[in-house]
Amino acid sequence: MMEMIKANLPVFIIIAPLVVAFLLPTFARKLKFVENLVIFVQVLMFAGIGYLAYIVFSRTLGETGMSYRFGGWPAPWGIELKIGNLAVFFLLVIVSVGLPVALFSKGNLEKEIGAKERVTRFYVLFLLLCAAMAGMALTNDLFNVFVLVEVATLSCCGLVSSRNHPRAAEAAFTYLILATLGSALILGGIGFIYITTGHLNMGFASEGLGHVWRESSHVVWLSASFLLVGFGVKSALFPLHIWLPDAHSTAPSPASAILSGLAVKGYFICLLKFLYNVFGITLLREFGIDKILVIAGSISIIAGSLAAIKQKELKRRLAFSTVAQIGYIFLGLGLMNEAGFSGMLFYLASHAIIKSTLFLAAGAMINATGKSKINDLAGIGRKMPVTMAAFTVASLGLVGIPLFSGFIGKWNLLLGCFDSQAIFPIIVIIAGSVLCAAYLFPIIRIAYFEPSPKTELQDPGPSQKLAFVLLVSAIIILGVVPGPLLELAKRAATELMML
C-alpha cells in the first residue's frame, strides 16, 4: 500500500483535497468534524510534499526531473506531471499557507459567513483551490493549465461571495467578469501555441516553437501578448488589478489570506511556466518581453504603494499592498538571471506567508472590534498583544527589515539588478520599501501608542494563536536561516535558465 502511494504521490497530492471536498457536504451539520478533516488533509499534504521535497533535494543539480504519466501514456500522447525544483518549491508555499489558514478558520468562520452549511461550502471551495494550485505547480500540459486556472478562478469567486455581506456578491461578480476575460485571453494564447506547434505538452511545444518561430513570429508574439495580459489580470498586475481591492477586502479573513497569499501566486507560476518552459529565454529576449516585465513590475510597485497609502480601511490598504508586492515578483521575472530569479521565488514565498499573516491578524482585529477603519483600532496592540505582535512581525518582513524573510528576497532581487546592470529597478525596489513602511508603520503606531479603548477585547482562541505562531516563526526562520529554501529557489532558477 505504501509503495503504491509513493509511486503515485504527485497525483495523490492533487486528488486528496478533491476527494475530501466532494465528501464534505455529507457532514455539513458536524462542523467540528469538517474542520478537523480539512486540517487533517492539510497535514497529509504537508507530509506528502515534504517527501517530494526530500526526493528532489537528493538529486544532483542538472539531473533529469521526475515525471508522472497518467495511464502510462508517454508525452505527448498522455498527460504528464513534472516534479522539479520549481514544482516542489511552490507546493511547499501552498502547504505553508494552507495549514495555518485551516487552523485559523477552526471555530472562527460562522460570524463572517453564517450557518454551518455555508461554512462547509467555504471549506469545499478552499480545498478545491488548494488542489487546483497543486495541479498548477505539477502539470506539464497546456490545456490542463487552463482547466486548473478555471477551477481556481471559480473557487476564488465562491470564496469572495461566501461572506455574509451585501458587498461580497458585487465584488465576486466583478471578479468573475474580469477573470473570465483573462481566461479567454489565456485560452487564445494556448490556441496560438497549439496551431503553431501541434502540441499541448510544454516540452514538445517548446521544441516546436524553436523550429518555427522565425516563420510565425507574429503568432508567437500574439500568443505571448495574450498570455501576459490574461495572467496579468488574474495576478492583479497594475493596471489590470481593479477587481482585487474589493474582492480581497470584502472576502472573509481566511479567504483574503488564501487569495492574496496563494491564489495570485498560482496564476503567476502558470505564467512563469509558459514563459520559461514553452517560449524560453531566447524568444523572450528576442521579443523584448523581459523589458516589458521589468517596466510593468516597477509601475505596479509604485502605483500600488501610493494607492495603499490613501486607504483608510485596514483590509483595503492590505489589498492594494498586494498589487504593489506582485510588482516585485514580475520585476524579478523580467531580470532573467539566476540571482534575480532566485530572489523573485524567495520573495514570492515570503510574501505568501507575510500577507497571509497580515490578513488573518487584520481579520481578528476587525472581528473583535467590529470596526474596519485604521484610526478606529487605536490602542488595540495592548488589548490583543498576540494578534498585533503577529501583524508587526509581518509588517517588518514586508518592508524588508533585516532578520525577516522579506529582506532576503529583496536583497537577492537587488543582486539580480546588479548582475543585469539595471539601475532603475534598484531605485524602484528601494522606493517601494520606503513606501511600504509609509503605509504599514502608521498602523503599528496607532495600535501601540494611541489611547486604548475602554471596551474589553482579547486575542482569538488557541487554534488561531497556533496559526499566528506558525506563520511568524516561518517569517523569522526564513529571515535568519534562509539557506534551505533559498537553495531550492536557486536550484529552480538554474533549472529554468538551462531550458
How far apart, in Å, are the Cα atoms of 192 and each of 187, 283, 363?
9, 15, 43
CA atoms within 13 A on the CB side of 257: 31
Average pLDDT of the chain to the nearest whole number: 85
User: Any idea where the domains of the chain sit in the sequence?
Assistant: 297-499
What is the phi/psi pair of residue 489, to 5°? -65, -40
How far is the C-alpha of 344 from the C-alpha of 339, rounded, in Å? Answer: 8
- Are the C-beta atoms of residues 363 and 341 closer than 8 Å to each other? no
CA 218 to chain centre: 32
Mean pLDDT of 463-468: 88
pTM, to two decimals: 0.90
Highest mean pLDDT, choosing among 6-10, 145-149, 450-454: 145-149
Q: What mean pLDDT do residues 471-476 have? A: 92
Cβ–Cβ under 8 Å, residues 231 and 271: yes
In this prediction, residue 244 carries a pLDDT of: 82
pLDDT digits (tens, 9 = 90+) for 318-376: 988 998 999 999 998 888 888 888 889 999 999 999 999 999 998 888 888 877 788 88
Distance of CA 261 to the CA centre of its chain: 5
Is the pLDDT at 213 greater than 80, yes or no? Answer: no
Q: Give the number of C-alpha atoms closer than 13 A to the C-alpha of residue 261, restricted to the C-beta side.
A: 30
Q: Which of 193-202, 238-247, 307-316 has the highest mean pLDDT?
A: 307-316
Beta bridge partners of 66: 83
Tens of pLDDT, residues 393-447:
999 999 989 889 889 989 988 988 888 887 888 899 999 999 999 989 998 888 8
Contact 205, 197 (CB under 8 A): yes
Instruction: Tell me the range of 232-241, 251-260, 349-358, 480-489 where mean pLDDT is highest.
Output: 349-358
Calculate mean pLDDT across residues 210-219. Answer: 76
